[in-house]
Structure 1
Amino acid sequence: MDLEIRHLRAVTAIADAGSLHKAARVLGVAQPTLTAQLRRIEESLGGTLFLRLPEGCRPTFLGHQLLARARPVLAEMNQLTDQMRAAARAERNSHLRIGSTPTHAVAPWLRLLSERFPEARPTVHAEASSCALLRMVAAGQLDAALVHEPEGCPLRIPADVRLRVLLEREPQLLGVFEHHPAARQKTVRLQDLADERWMIDKTADGEWEQLDRVLRAAGVTPQILHGDFATISMLVSTGQAVMVCNGTSTGRNGAVVRRLEGDPIAARWLLAARSDACLDAVYDDLVTAYREVADQAPLYKAIGPPVFGPTP
């Protein structure tokens, strides 16, 4: 028989009470039951834990050795129980707050989390700035956030934020008007877009710097306009500008997505939280959600399913 927590509780109760009769009352069991349990424990250990004296029970040397180790274990178990009960109370009275930069995966992710944790009433905060979301996680305003890091433009990661890689490198797509000449091609050269106006949300950390660098490396002098997502979508869908889109984009409202030759623009997707436990709680549902949208995306139909990455 291996020692269990209930055995340690019984032994310490006997030592603290000084008799089997008093210990049985403390534990809420009959004295014969406790006596039989103590006998089984001693037989399992191969030694006597208590001297049975007229005035009560006194620990033997072996008993003192066991008690010296049992008490810290029980104290730690009691502390763990109290912490888990407090966490359960907090969970019942709080929301699971997630954040994300723009991605089609947010809707299925929120749905899956709501199914898994209905009592936590998950909510979502959308934000173009990855760094703003990371600051919110660090400040305890969000429990977890999905952010993207444009290739070559590292994000500023707060010291107390933990990260898990969702995708190490996801090519970004070109969004163009459905009647644009580039829409007739499967892949588009950057040089063929030399005269285009590129729309970008400057609050999206690193995207302007990445696009400017990539276009200049391709010999293109960039014409970059700044606007919010609604304005960008409107101008692209009416043929007045082009844009960079996430790899899960499918195109809509008069706009289509096309792959850029050589995949020169890319991003790394990261899940951020303040603890590994929180990352563990929401990561698998995020992977499932991302697979769901990737199954519908032209990029992943061309290059195969996404390969999810390890912890950095």
Structure 2
Amino acid sequence: MELEVRHLRALCAIADTGSLHKAARTLGMSQPSLTTQLRRIENALGAELFSRERTGCRPTPLGRAVLSRARPLVEQMNALVADTRAAASRSSGSPQLRIGATASRVLGGWLRRLRTRLPETGTSLHVDVSARALLRLLSAGQLDVAFVHEVEGFALRVPPGLDQRVLVEREPQFIAMSRDHPAAGRSVVELTDLAADRWMIDPTVDGEWDGVQRVFDAAGLDPPVLRGDYHTATSLIVMGEAVAPCQPTSGPREDMAIRPLRGDPLAVRLLLVSRPGFTEAEGVYADLEAAYRDAAMRAPGYRQWLLRNESPLLAGSGAVA
């Protein structure tokens, strides 16, 4: 077996995420496929590159040596691809806007505004659950801008040289539950009301589990936890089998209740990060801000939360108490 760039990318992804599952999500492949690929790489080299532990994967001494040589090669290949695509875009005469984002209810409105304001610009969107993965793509020149969230208490490591602006300093995370949940009839839910519920957490979202665990520890709670993606969580929530954190911009649903937690113990910071010299940064940020405000106003629970907290986001929205 000869090592290829895709194999080196896989090794770097495993080392960066510390998990085969997270790395597979980042690479857009299944975990069994990545596990098989790693086994073949290790067999070809004749030694283990990662030690499998309960807390994840850690590079062995040999693995660290391989990674020290693999990373520059991967970065050079990424730069080559980015430069080639940029040159092709320039030669075609059509400007391109490459956007990365973690999942958000705001994306549709943001893209619509960008398309309206920049009708001659081709826009691509790369969505990833990992903010760190998006920032790496941005640093490598494969994206122009990335809209990411940072879980409170677990700061993102923004690569040097990138520009960043804060869209929302502290966005509260609400809780999604079934319509017939005992706490669904309240406008604000106590954390203790959910102590006996199964919580659905996506561990591949950077900082997500750590942030929720910190809140549990502070409240002296230890509820049962299910680990999986939030698309799967929706069906479990509707059936009353789980509750889960959710974005406050989540729209109302007939089969689900979305409520704020008392004291807002769960929160994220929303950032727009752009590559150096990105001339459209101001306009792109303004479009994102407007799209976010629109989404917030369409979510009744969040709109009321913003009014109660006299949020600056309400400026110019026309919202009244």
Q: TM-score interval w.r.t. the shorter chain? A: 0.5 to 0.7
Residue 283 of structure 1 aligns to which amino acid in structure 2? Y
**In structure 2, the residue corresponding to 1:203 is in which secondary structure?**
coil
Separation in 2 of the partners of 1:188 and 1:112? Answer: 35
The structure 2 residue matched to 1:279, chosen from 278, 281, 291, is 281
User: Which residue of structure 1 aligns with residue 176 of structure 2?
Assistant: 175
Give the distance between the partners of 2:212 and 2:130, measured in 1 at CA.
16
Unmatched 5+ stretches in structure 1: 1-85
Structure 1: distance between partners of 2:166 and 2:92? 26
Quote how far apart the aligned CAs of 1:252 are.
2.8
The count of residues paired between Structure 1 and Structure 2 equals 223
Equivalent in the alignment of 1:289: 291
Task: Quote the offset at 1:88 in angstroms.
Answer: 9.4
Distance 1:120 1:183, change over 3 A: same
Report how far residue 89 of structure 1 moved: 3.9
Q: 1:303 pairs with 297, 303, 306, which one?
A: 306
1-structure distance, mates of 2:172, 2:91: 40
Cα distance, 1:253–1:88 mapped onto 2, change above 3 Å: same
Cα pair distance change 1:90/1:252, threshold 3 Å: farther
State the match for 1:43 in structure 2. Answer: none
* TM-score w.r.t. length of structure 1: 0.67
What residue identity is the alignment partner of 1:160?
G
Paired with 2:219 and 2:91, the residues of 1 have a C-alpha distance of 53
Q: Distance in 1 between matches of 2:131 and 2:99?
A: 13
Q: Look up the match of 1:34.
A: none
Taking a change above 3 Å as real, the CA distance of residues 234 and 213 of structure 1, as seen in their structure-2 partners, is: same
Mapped partners of 2:92, 2:117: distance in 1: 13
Moved more, 274-283 or 170-179: 274-283
**Structure 1 partner of 2:125:** 124
* Contact kept in structure 2, 1:187 and 1:258, CA below 8 Å: yes
Q: How does 1:40-119 map to 2 (within 5 A)?
A: 89=90, 92-119=93-120
1:262-273 equivalences in 2 (<5 Å): 262-273=263-274
Aligned partner of 2:255: which letter? G
Give the corresponding residue for 1:62.
none
Deviations 1:205-228 (A, max 9, x none): 001000011012111113221111
Is the partner of 2:99 in helix, strand or coil? strand
Residue 154 (structure 1) aligns with: 155
Match of residue 37 from structure 2: none
Q: Matches of 1:227 and 1:251 in 2, distance apart?
A: 23
Deviation of 1:307 after TM superposition, in Å, equals: 3.0
The residue number in structure 1 matching 2:219 is: 218
* SS of alignment partner, residue 128 of structure 1: coil
Partner of 2:166, secondary structure, is: strand
SS of equivalent residue, structure 2 residue 203 = coil
C-alpha separation between the residues in 1 aligned to 2:220 and 2:92?
54
1:252 aligns with 2:253: yes
Counterparts of 1:123 and 1:253, CA distance in 2:
33
8 A contact 1:189–1:260 mirrored in 2: yes
Q: Specify the alignment match of 1:186 in structure 2.
A: 187
**Pairwise CA distance, 1:87:** 12
Is contact 1:98–1:122 with CA below 8 Å preserved after alignment? yes
- 1:118 match: secondary structure: coil
Give the structure 2 partner of residue 232 of structure 1. Answer: 233
Note closer, same or farther for the CA distance 1:88–1:239 as it changes in structure 2 (3 Å cut).
Answer: closer
Give the conservation status (yes or no) of the 8 Å contact 2:189–2:259: yes
For the aligned residue pairs, the C-alpha RMSD in angstroms reads 2.1
**3-state secondary structure, aligned to 1:169:** strand
Q: CA deviation at 1:301?
A: 2.4
Q: Give 1:300 shift.
A: 2.4
Distance 1:294 1:252, change over 3 A: same
For normalisation by structure 2, the TM-score amounts to 0.65
* Superposition misfits of 4+ residues, deviation over 6 angstroms: none
Structure 2, gaps ≥5 residues long: 1-86, 314-321
TM superposition shift of 1:285: 0.4
Map of 1:243 onto structure 2: 244
Contact 2:174–2:259 under 8 Å retained in 1: yes
Whether the 8 Å contact between 2:94 and 2:122 is mirrored in structure 1 is no
Q: Could you give the per-residue CA deviations for residues 95-143 of structure 1, whole angstroms, max 9, x where no partner exists?
A: 3111211211100000111111122121212111111111111112211
User: CA–CA distance in 1 between the matches of 2:280 and 2:254?
Assistant: 37
